[in-house]
Chain A
Amino acid sequence: MLEIRDLHASVAGQPILKGLNLTVKPGEVHAIMGPNGSGKSTLANVLAGRDNYEITGGEALFDGKSLADMEPEDRARLGLFLAFQYPVEIPGVSNMEFLKAALEATRAAQGKEEWDSVTLLRKAREACKQVDLDAQFLKRGVNEGFSGGEKKRNEIMQMMLMEPKLALLDETDSGLDIDALQTVAKGVNSLRSPERGIVLVTHYQRLLDYIVPDYVHVLSGGKIIKSGGKELALELEQHGYGWLTGGQNGGNDKEDQTA
């Protein structure tokens, strides 16, 4: 469902991704790990279509369609979901209002039946419960005054309602306490299905104890430099990235960026 071939992308004119390859098939869970600044969030943002994240070479296909010239809302309507590393606040717009707009826009496009407000409210309450958020959070402004962990759980709550085909989770585990980590993992696991692809960006093996990936990839210097099974994450936990990057930190350091 996701095919990335020799992808080159730049952020605000800076080349960051430099020949990345990745294939995600329905039902698979992929974990992407890698040093700070290696381009993990960039990859997620390029796929989701953020302004200023530009594909300069190669291609990224979602269900056979090229993502390059698609508006972000159209990608979302096709079933691509990004759980943000830093969820932003929208003051005064209630979570519920926001969900309603999002679900109206996406469900119709996906040929799913429309939810009336009673159904929507019921589903939203269920989703809140699953990520251990009080239903009161539906009335609050989107992420407004939420704690770091609450914001992350709110992202997962949205994901559960939106039932995407492909979910990209950018460091959803960072900032979560131990209990919340398990709750979130349970939520994500409940969404695992033969039709759905999941890409997890994480720094910690710990998350992968709960959400067991089919593949683990190491992203460094804008490329995937190693792929393996779940045991690769354990190796990384023990040895760090040095043995793979040949001592370099793998981030987009100055040398790489002078192009």
Chain B
Amino acid sequence: MSSQAELDNSELDRVIRSEYEAGFTTLVESDTLPPGLNEDVIRVISAKKDEPEWLLEWRLEAYRHWQTMQEPDWAHVSYPPVDLNAISYYSAPKSMEDRPQSLDEVDPELLDTYKKLGIPLHEQEMLAGVAVDAVFDSVSVGTTFKAKLAEAGVIFCSISEAVQEHPELVRKYLGSVVPKGDNYFAGLNSAVFTDGSFVYIPKGVRCPMELSTYFRINEANTGQFERTLIVADEGSYVSYLEGCTAPQRDENQLHAAVVELVALPGAEIKYSTVQNWYPGDKDGKGGIYNFVTKRGVAHDHAKISWTQVETGSAITWKYPSVVLRGDHSVGEFYSVALTRHAQQADTGTKMIHLGRNTKSTIVSKGISAGKSSNAYRGLVRMGPRAENARNFTQCDSLLLGDRCGAHTFPYIESKHPSATIEHEATTSRVSDDQLFLCRQRGIEPEKAISMIVNGFCKEVFKELPMEFAVEAGKLLEVSLEGAVG
């Protein structure tokens, strides 16, 4: 019987030993701060961005508080301590020094990078109806479709620009969902964040197109600390997609982002992520440490929906959460997390029910291959006022091979007797029989496995905006593809 398992593994091994396709480096001259973190570094970042005094103060407060904090160690991941003094906290392509006024002025090398990644920034080449903001290392390189959005009153720009142009909105909402002392990584981000996207949808407006940001880490030894803030005013709607890649490097790189969502009464925010940071090689060398804090607050009758497809990063530590503050608010979390090689993922969500008749749904699909480890960690909390609150959680794990691991850590706290919480969990394997059925019908093993895995993820993919569902399917296929023919 053991020979059966071995055969399985060699087949699967071949299939999952594929290369990272976004792993190239772009040669642009950069303005990069020397490694290390102290108050002066923060002052320099703030000065480079020409920030108002209040923001510098906010950063410094965050920094001072952060110095008293400990790195969390409760997650089901292990890694050597990150030397935060070996990282550079600011890196910008030189050509961005004098901020370009339009895309025509952006360094063609940069635009090329995004094109290689399949993200052409020029509007005429864009997927119809998707506006894109692209963040390269620490700065935003351009936002498309600005004019069309402005017509609808939608603000979509880099957060640095928002600080200049819409300081009242930024000041009101920055840190309102994820306070600057929230956790170790969020604290660090608050002190040193460099860029990210800002979105504001006015009252009653349905954003006329999908909004999208692409993040790319290019420089070696830099961290990326982006900050995204989305405010959907009363009765408005927005669908937002975030994509991420990084070059292939032997050193680990740190990514500690903060995303804050505010859904005011009756608003709906749909936030989708396709995360494909470099995962490291098959021996676990290199790759991005992805320590991200994402949280949204849903007011009365508002809805926040997180959908994520995570295939990258050496380590993922990420729990997109919804605080269901208002009555009748809705929170959703749909996740596909694929780990292979030596990747480690500890991801899940928190649904904090504060209001009455609040409702949350969690669907998590974890796929583990190689010797990777994939953990779901989810908290459902029903507060003392959360009358008739309801949660449904479904957590499925799919194992490819027998050297990987899947773990589920559900935490449930209920302070209201009328709350209902349902939890379902399954673990399965891609069986020999399934693989053989496909091959007997002429389908090659790589394709068969990717089809089976895609089938497993179907419930989550159908939550993604259409164009991106296709992209996500392809990404899974690429991640599973064999290097050997």
Contacts and interface: CB of A to CB of B under 8 A. Distances in A.
Interface of A: 12-13, 48-52, 71-73, 75-77, 81-82, 84, 87-93, 97-98, 101-102, 105-106, 109, 141-142, 158, 162
Contacts of B8: 51
Contacts of A89: 434
Given A77-B442, A158-B441, A162-B441, 5 more contacts: A76-B440, A84-B437, A90-B451, A106-B442, A141-B455
Interface in B408-446: 431-434, 436-445
Contacts of B451: 90, 93, 97-98, 101
Interface residues of B, number: 29
A105 B456 contact: no
B3 to A, nearest CB: 7
B4 interface: yes
B441 A50 contact: no
Contacts of A162: 441-442
Contacts of B454: 92-93
B439 A72 contact: yes
Contacts of B146: none
A51 B437 contact: no
Contacts of B452: 90, 93
A98 B437 CA distance: 10
Contact of B442 (A13, A76, A92, A141): A76
A117 to B, nearest CB: 15
B99 interface: no
Contact of A82 (B440, B444, B455, B457): B440
Given A13-B3, A92-B457, A76 B434 contact: no
A8 to B, nearest CB: 19
Nearest to B11: A51
Given A102-B442, A106-B442, A93 B455 contact: yes
The 9 closest A-B pairs by CB, nearest first: A92-B455, A93-B455, A102-B441, A105-B442, A76-B442, A106-B442, A92-B458, A72-B439, A88-B433
Contacts of A93: 451-452, 454-455
Contact of B456 (A13, A52, A92, A106): A92
A48 B440 contact: yes
Nearest to B461: A92
Contacts of A72: 436, 439-440
B441 A76 contact: yes
Interface in B447-475: 447, 451-452, 454-459
A105 B444 contact: yes
Interface string B195-207: 0000000000000
A102 B7 CA distance: 24
11 contacts: A48-B436, A48-B440, A50-B436, A73-B442, A76-B440, A87-B437, A97-B451, A101-B447, A102-B442, A105-B441, A105-B447
Contacts of B7: 51-52
Contacts of A88: 431, 433-434, 437
Contacts of B441: 76, 98, 101-102, 105-106, 158, 162
A171 B447 CA distance: 28
B424 to A, nearest CB: 14
B442 A51 contact: no
B135 to A, nearest CB: 34
Given A88-B434, A97-B451, A12 B439 contact: no
A106 B439 CA distance: 11
B484 interface: no
Interface in B179-231: none
A39 B430 CA distance: 26
Contact of B439 (A13, A71, A91): A71
B150 interface: no
Nearest to A51: B7
A74 B432 CA distance: 17
B1 interface: yes
Given A92-B455, A141-B455, A76 B437 contact: no
A109 B442 contact: yes
Interface string B1-25: 1011001100100000000000000
A102 B439 CA distance: 9
A97 B437 CA distance: 14
